[in-house]
Amino acid sequence: MTAGMGLRRATLFVRDLDRMRAFYEGVFGLTLYRELEVDLSRVKALPIGAANPESGSARFIILRGADPLVGMVGLMQVTAPALPEANHDVRRLGYGSVALVMAVKDADQAAADAARLGGEVIQPVTTARNIGDVAGEFVPVKMFMAYDPEGHFLEVFAPL
């Protein structure tokens, strides 16, 4: 068995990198770790659109939270070739969907910021339980559920 290191980053493919960056920075306090222009011809195995690109470009940023290397969010906007629209409604969870679970210090403020910055709060802030301690046990939290401005599902909680 190979020893794993764990997930460091999840990357979302987005339509509007600047808007999404403002959302994740404004709601979750993430800060810029790295910003790149990507020559897609150098990443031939990346399945973009209908086929792997012979050429193309993308803007890519990585945002981080309090930990310097774990729990980062990447945002990539492919600028050429044009990406096809998703073949499923991202606002309806199903196979292929992703749920980002984010921790914040203040759930009420994060929910207000999410709505202000173009997200959609679909479950208002409530007191609940969420898996959240070192042993994987439930802890009391304030939490809400939302979509980011492009429809990615978010579960957001603040430990009580």
Cis peptide before 81 (omega within 30 of 0): yes
pLDDT in tens, 55-112: 789 999 999 999 877 889 999 999 988 788 877 777 888 887 889 999 999 999 999 9
Q: What is the CATH number of the domain that holds 129?
A: 3.10.180.10
Give the residue from 80, 108, 123 where a domain finishes: 80
pLDDT at res. 94: 85
Is residue 89 one of the residues assigned to a domain? no
Tokens of 105: 């210090």
The answer to whether 67 touches 82, Cβ cutoff 8 Å, is no
* Per-residue pLDDT at 149: 96
pLDDT of residue 1 exceeding 70: no
pLDDT tens by residue, 110-148? 999 999 999 999 999 999 999 878 898 999 999 999 999
Does any domain span residue 2? no
